[in-house]
Amino acid sequence: MAQSQDLHQRRLAAVAPGVSSIISSYVDHASGGTLSDVDGREWIDFGSGIAVTSVGNAAPRVVQAVQEQVARFTHTCFMVAPYESYVAVCEQLNALTPGEHAKRSALFNSGAEAVENAVKIARHATGRPAIVVFDHAYHGRTNLTMALTAKSMPYKHRFGPFAGEIYRVPMSYPLRDGGLSGQAAAARALDQIEKQVGAANVAALLIEPIQGEGGFVVPAPGFLPALASWCTANGVLFVADEIQTGFCRTGSWFASEHEGVVPDLVTTAKGIAGGLPLAGVTGRAEVMDAIHPGGLGGTYGGNPVACAAALASIATMRELDLAAAARRIESIMVPRLRELEDDHPEIAEVRGRGAMIAMEIVSPGRDGAGGPAPDPDRTKAVAAACHAAGLLVLTCGTYGNVLRFLPPLVMDDATLHKGLDILAAAFA
Ligand code: PLZ
């Protein structure tokens, strides 16, 4: 820890404390499933930099593409002088996102920026003001996306006032809603929208097909299709925020596919570019074409180095079939986590899909809403024990009581098992 400790002292003097880190070791280099810190210690990576390095860290193809691009040109601004790779990334997005209809895409820098632009596009194209979001949602930290995000601490606390015309309705959360069916949970949400907002005022319904920061909440089957068909019937755009779930993470290119849902707009980021900052909005051609030239953009959106990394990442996903790799990770991880669940009553549920798997930790008794009482302290303690033993895990959830696992999709089975051994020991 010697070098990390020195770096930490420099950090305390130089870096704003509002930006915090999960571990206090400083990274030197990283690869397909491990991070190595400046003191020579190796960490098994069950976080992928929050679902970003799906193709691995410093993935060979990405490294080569970035090196070639950075030597050709680093930036022109696509709005000033365009280049092929931006167009090629949009072609890939249009081909890979759900639905066979004509599509167009636009590129940005971060997930929050993509979500902001999806809202701009939806409002402009429909001429309506209201955006509907869900309990436990996470969509970013900018002013508009803070309004869309549900959780106050740490994301919104004293950062308001927030943007208007955002309405929040109940999510389908089987562990905490008495196991409502997808149809019943959708009816509950839609009834609120109709009574409290009015369908004719709604531009878009924005939802993560599996919620990320909110707790890896997998809605009951039928919930997403019921919402999507209500949207179609009411001229409301169904916007899938696939920023965390997209690009093979859940065992298919996009999580919407598991329920046969075809969104009108899709936001992407994270896994798209192997760690370089890139994000996209992809949508029906008639929706995207509604925006006047010059209405969308930004200096860096679709930067050529990030686009080169995205094309190499997507090629890697195809070549190595990383959707199948995510399903293989699920088939190894879930049975082992269920064994733990059998031995530890504090594990209320193992859930998720592909390489996006979580465990919700509770204590005996019920919370105010009648669900199992969340145990954020034990969750933190298990995560800390994992970190002490060299396994990097993340927590999430509105109640801070969910341990989540997001390994790179290229992680080999031996490393995966080693990580799960550390987790089991941490529970013991
Ligand atoms: N939408 C579904 O998961 C980012 C953020 C962690 P940015 N999630 C990790 C944190 O504490 O800041 C995310 C997401 C979904 C949007 C975003 C926002 O993406 O690239 O972080 O802006």
Residue 129: per-residue pLDDT? 98
Residue pointed to by tokens 């002490």:
388
How far does the centroid of ligand 1 lie from the alpha carbon of residue 223, in Å? Answer: 23
Q: Is the CB of 141 under 6 A from ligand 1?
A: yes
Percent of the residues in the chain that have a pLDDT greater than 90, as a whole number: 99
Pairing assessment for the beta strands 130-134 and 166-169 based on DSSP bridges: parallel
Q: How many angstroms separate the CA atoms of 182 and 168, rounded? A: 18
Q: Are 110 and 279 in contact (CB under 8 A)?
A: yes
Average pLDDT in the 141-165 region? 98
Q: How many angstroms separate the CA atoms of 314 and 336, rounded? A: 30
Closest by Cα among 243, 260, 226 to 117: 243
Chain centroid to CA 54: 12
Q: Which atom of ligand 1 is nearest to the CA of 212?
A: 3
Residue pointed to by tokens 């069916």:
181
Tens-digit pLDDT profile for residues 288-347:
999 999 999 999 999 999 999 999 999 999 999 999 999 999 999 999 999 999 999 999
Q: Is the CB of 242 under 6 A from ligand 1?
A: no
Q: Is the CB of 111 under 6 A from ligand 1?
A: yes
Q: Is the CB of 139 under 6 A from ligand 1?
A: yes
Q: How many angstroms separate the CA atoms of 201 and 213, rounded? A: 28
Q: Which atom of ligand 1 is nearest to the CA of 242?
A: 2
Q: How many angstroms separate the CA atoms of 98 and 195, rounded? A: 31
Name the residue with the closest Cα to ligand 1, atom 3.
Answer: 244
Tens-digit pLDDT profile for residues 370-407:
999 999 999 999 999 999 999 999 999 999 999 999 99
Residue 381: per-residue pLDDT? 98
Q: Is the CB of 8 under 6 A from ligand 1?
A: no
Ligand 1 pocket mutation pick from 22, 138, 207, 247 by most atoms within 8 angstroms of CB = 138
Q: Residue 73 carries which side chain, given as an amino acid letter?
A: F
Tens-digit pLDDT profile for residues 168-219:
999 999 999 999 999 999 999 999 999 999 999 999 999 999 999 999 999 9
Q: Are 270 and 138 in contact (CB under 8 A)?
A: no
CA distance to 175, 348, 360, 418, per residue, from 372 (Å): 8, 8, 10, 30
Q: How many angstroms separate the CA atoms of 54 and 313, rounded? A: 9
CA distance to 5, 27, 273, per residue, from 38 (Å): 10, 6, 25
Average pLDDT in the 31-41 region? 97
- Give the chain's mean pLDDT: 98
Ligand 1 pocket mutation pick from 142, 145, 213, 268 by most atoms within 8 angstroms of CB = 213
Ligand 1 pocket mutation pick from 243, 250, 256, 276 by most atoms within 8 angstroms of CB = 243
The token pair that represents 51 in the structure block: 């679902």
What is the number of other CB atoms lying within 10 angstroms of the CB of residue 276? 20
Residue 299: per-residue pLDDT? 98
Q: How many angstroms separate the CA atoms of 221 and 183, rounded? A: 8
Three-class SS of residue 348? strand
Tens-digit pLDDT profile for residues 217-232:
999 999 999 999 999 9
Q: Is the peptide bond before 154 cis (omega within 30 degrees of 0)?
A: yes
Closest by Cα among 20, 23, 26 to 3: 26
Q: Is the CB of 112 under 6 A from ligand 1?
A: yes
Question: What is the dihedral sign for C-alpha 328, 41, 272, 74?
Answer: negative
Residue 1: per-residue pLDDT? 64
Q: Is the CB of 312 under 6 A from ligand 1?
A: no
Q: Is the CB of 404 under 6 A from ligand 1?
A: no
